[in-house]
């Protein structure tokens, strides 16, 4: 039987509310949270923040502004931090965040209306974002490459899986066979 939460709290230091360890953990987390907020304020596009605070943005779009601000912070972090980003790159990053906001808004419109024009705008904005990412040099990231033994094992497993899926008959295959036999 699992140990109740109340008993686990007493056994792990720093989890008992009001203890000195708990107070220290809360203090450190609060300082770290305030530092992160200050860093995000430095990084976020000013116009998006102004729009959010002005009250002119529709309630449905407010979460998209938060995503754009988070995306900006992540891009700046990927480029080495606020001090390592040149003014030119900062402009590109802010433009990328604005395009992301527009992309998300258009995607929401498309999902609600299935409007073909909205789908075209989503594709256009997506291509523009990809080009901006390429300009920033973020189109290519290093990825882990497995060793030869792992790679060949993965390929063998994928090949076996493909063979199995090819061997399984689908309803379309059955209908085609019936049509050939004159049963359809």
95-146 pLDDT tens trace? 888 888 888 888 888 888 888 888 888 899 889 988 888 888 766 555 566 7
Distance between CA atoms of residues 87 and 94, nearest Å: 10
pLDDT of residue 170: 56
Q: Is there a contact between 121 and 106 (Cβ–Cβ < 8 Å)?
A: yes
Average pLDDT, the chain: 76
Nearest to 47 by CA among 88, 101, 8, 4: 101
Q: Which long-range contacts (CB under 8 A, 24 or more apart) does 30-34 make?
A: none
- Tokens of residue 99, six digits: 């395009």
Q: For 135-183, how does the pLDDT look when each residue is reduced to its tens digit (9 = 90+)?
A: 887 665 555 667 788 888 888 888 777 665 555 555 666 666 666 666 6
Q: Is the pTM of this model over 0.85?
A: no
If you ran DSSP here, which 8-state letter would residue 19 be given? S
If you ran DSSP here, which 8-state letter would residue 168 be given? S
């Amino acid at each position: 039987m699992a140990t109740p939460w109340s008993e686990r709290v007493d056994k792990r230091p720093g989890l008992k509310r009001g203890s000195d360890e708990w107070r220290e953990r809360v203090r450190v987390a609060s300082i770290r949270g305030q530092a992160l907020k200050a860093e995000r304020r430095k990084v976020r596009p000013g116009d998006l923040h102004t729009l959010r605070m002005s009250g002119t943005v529709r309630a449905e779009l407010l979460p998209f502004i938060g995503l754009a601000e988070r995306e900006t912070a992540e891009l700046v972090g990927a480029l080495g931090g606020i001090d390592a980003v040149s003014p030119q790159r900062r402009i590109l990053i802010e433009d990328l965040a604005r395009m992301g906001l527009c992309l998300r808004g258009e995607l929401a419109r498309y999902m609600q209306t299935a409007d073909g024009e909205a789908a075209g705008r989503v594709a256009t904005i997506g291509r523009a974002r990809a080009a901006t990412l390429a300009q920033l040099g973020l189109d290519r990231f290093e990825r882990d490459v497995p060793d030869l033994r792992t790679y060949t094992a993965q390929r063998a497993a994928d090949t076996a899986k493909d063979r199995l899926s090819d061997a399984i008959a689908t309803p379309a295959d059955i209908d085609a066979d019936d049509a050939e036999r004159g049963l359809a």
